[in-house]
Amino acid sequence: MLGEQDRADRFLSLTGLTPEDLRASLGEPSTLAAVQEFLCQHEPDLLGAADALGVSPQTLVAAREGLGA
């Protein structure tokens, strides 16, 4: 999430989180769901994150659905 500066800035601005807060809460289901929801709301972010993670965008969408987001 924080690897691409524009995406990181947008996410942190929208959530009010700091990078430290985000890192500390990544194991929380609500944080994972929020990150995935954020990515799925903006296709360029979804594609960029999928590429950075080496997975398909469909994998990220399926993971989001698995969390009930």
The pLDDT tens digits of the residues spanning 35-44 come to: 888 888 989 9
Q: What is d(CA 27, CA 4) in angstroms, rounded to the nearest whole number?
A: 21
| Domain extents in the chain | 5-66
Average confidence score pLDDT of the chain: 86
- What is the distance between the alpha carbons of residues 5 and 21, in angstroms, rounded to a whole number? 17
Give per-residue pLDDT as tens, 51-68: 988 999 999 889 877 766
pLDDT of residue 59: 93
